[in-house]
Chain A
Amino acid sequence: GAGVSQSPSNKVTEKGKDVELRCDPISGHTALYWYRQSLGQGLEFLIYFQGNSAPDKSGLPSDRFSAERTGGSVSTLTIQRTQQEDSAVYLCASSLVGGASEQFFGPGTRLTVL
């Protein structure tokens, strides 16, 4: 079956612009996660959606970052007024349920802010 997909695969933008990154989770997975992978920093949790519950936004680094998940499926991560330090690979993962379930990762979106 299809895995987690993300688009675009690469995004180059200018400092100050807004960007939207998209994630299509595996069908039927109720939990969706966004992570950021920066050089030398490993993977950093950003935000977590579980079903219809309020998302866990505790990992978002600033109020320029936001995410939504429509209809319990597709998710969009938005970064407003991008800064150079936002350059990273943004990874999306989904799992059947939260917590103990295995998370399946997408290929990521590589964001470069010039």
Chain B
Amino acid sequence: AQSVSQHNHHVILSEAASLELGCNYSYGGTVNLFWYVQYPGQHLQLLLKYFSGDPLVKGIKGFEAEFIKSKFSFNLRKPSVQWSDTAEYFCAVNSNQAGTALIFGKGTTLSVSS
């Protein structure tokens, strides 16, 4: 069965610390990969996505993610977090064929202290 695993349920960091959130997926075939973020009181918005090409993807607000096909991973990174990065982060995957919905991980809550 298709699934997405996010290894960290809750991450607590101080400002300026580096961030890496793990994401592994189980999905047959070619996939599209996404990271979504949900800030407190706001709705889900896209941070970055990978469809094909360069496996290192850069997104908004200084985030990046690397697709490692051999490891079925798509980890999210940021070199220096800010208090405003406090949010819940969701990794998601779908097939690159038309007509498939996203399968989400259970999310990682990031708390950044100033």
Using a CB–CB cutoff of 8 Å, the interface residues on chain A facing chain B are 33, 35, 40-45, 48, 50, 53, 56, 59, 91, 93, 97-100, 102-108
Contacts and interface: CB of A to CB of B under 8 A. Distances in A.
A41 B43 contact: no
Interface in B93-109: 94-107
A42 B43 contact: no
A83 to B, nearest CB: 22
Contact of A42 (B45, B51, B97, B106): B106
Contacts, number: 64
Contact of B101 (A41, A42, A59, A102): A59
Interface residues of B, number: 25
A97 B98 CA distance: 8
Contacts of A40: 106
A32 to B, nearest CB: 10
Contacts of B67: none
B44 to A, nearest CB: 4
Contacts of A105: 36, 43-45
Contacts of B105: 42
Contact of B100 (A35, A99, A106, A107): A99
B100 A98 contact: yes
A42 B94 CA distance: 16
B90 interface: yes
Given A100-B51, A102-B46, A42 B99 contact: no
A43 B34 CA distance: 14
B41 to A, nearest CB: 9
